[in-house]
Amino acid sequence: MTITDWTQRFHGTSHLPDAVRARLRAAARIVKFRNGAQVFGPDNVPDSLMFLYEGRIRVSQSSDTGREIVLYRVEAGESCVLTTACMLAEEAYNAEGIAETDVTAIVLPKLAFDRLAAEEDAFRDFVFQAYSRRLIDLLRVVDDVAFGRIDVRLAERLLALADAANEVQATHQQLASELGTAREVVSRVLHDFQKRELVSQSRGKITLTDTTALQALAHST
């Protein structure tokens, strides 16, 4: 994938014009992370703005009691606004970004970012839109956690994480961290799903055997 591809890939209706892409390419610096590496976190505050070129980043927040919840995922073509937020806000917070695949990111020094934001409407819109999308994502997380049933949320997440063969490669602990709950809870719900023949399990893997029923469950209030 070229940078040109990337700049065309960002989510939204508008596309960055050639001139902006060229300027972005000129100012950008490429950084790579291995699968599993921490891209940013409380002890690793980047001083520049990051755009994801290739791969996927999982952004999660952890409690001081060891529990964890996934906030959202950054896909190729999206920007990682939390790094910006992190930069601007002095307050500490305990969110971190973990590379879920090998990751290539574009780092834009703050100065170059400012210039682009000032001079290119399309770029500025892109960044504002990125912020907006993350806000909406977080609203959804709040809604789920505050008001959602755990079985519904697990069904949703299983469907979202399943591969083409309807299999989810994840331990119960990892699924618990997706939802911000405890492993035992996931085990119990999955056991129930199994009895209802919605899924079958083996160590570290869930097979969705009745996606229709799971979808019905996921979409029930």
Partner DNA sequence: GTCTCTTCAGTGACAATGTCACGAAAGCCG
Partner DNA sequence: CGGCTTTCGTGACATTGTCACTGAAGAGAC
Among 1, 19, 37, 118, binds a second copy (CB under 8 A): 118
Q: Does 131 bind a second copy (CB under 8 A)?
A: yes
> What is the amino acid identity at position 134?
R
Each residue of 79-105: b (16+ CB within 10 Å) or e?
Answer: bbbbbbebeeeeeeeebbbbbeeebbb
Q: Which long-range contacts (CB under 8 A, 24 or more apart) does 209-215 make?
A: 209/166, 211/159, 211/162, 211/166, 214/155, 214/158, 214/159, 215/155, 215/159
- Shortest distance, CB of residue 124 to a second copy, whole angstroms? 6
Task: Please report, as residue ranges, which positions from 67 to 86 form the binding site for DNA (by CB under 7 A).
Answer: 67
Q: Does 36 bind DNA (CB under 7 A)?
A: no
Q: How far is it, in rounded angstroms, from Cα 217 to Cα 221? A: 9
In this complex, which beta carbon is closest to a second copy, that of residue 80 or of residue 106? 80
Q: Does 61 bind DNA (CB under 7 A)?
A: no
Q: Does 187 bind DNA (CB under 7 A)?
A: yes
Which among a second copy, DNA, none contacts residue 192 (Cβ within 5 to 8 A by kind)? none
Among 17, 36, 42, 204, binds DNA (CB under 7 A): 204
Q: How far is it, in rounded angstroms, from Cα 163 to Cα 173? A: 19
Stretch that binds a second copy, among 40-48, 58-66, 165-173, 203-211 (CB under 8 A): 58-66
Which among a second copy, DNA, none contacts residue 188 (Cβ within 5 to 8 A by kind)? DNA
| Residue that the structure tokens 């056991």 belong to | 191
Task: Please report, as residue ranges, which positions from 146 to 175 form the binding site for DNA (by CB under 7 A).
Answer: 147, 149-151, 171-173
Among 121, 184, 192, 197, binds a second copy (CB under 8 A): 121
Q: How far is it, in rounded angstroms, from Cα 139 to Cα 11? A: 19
Q: Are 74 and 80 in contact (CB under 8 A)?
A: yes
Among 61, 101, 187, 209, binds a second copy (CB under 8 A): 61
Q: Are 82 and 40 in contact (CB under 8 A)?
A: yes
Task: Please report, as residue ranges, which positions from 170 to 209 form the binding site for a second copy (by CB under 8 A).
Answer: 180
Contact positions toward DNA, by CB under 7 A?
A: 65, 67, 147, 149-151, 171-173, 180-185, 187-191, 201-205
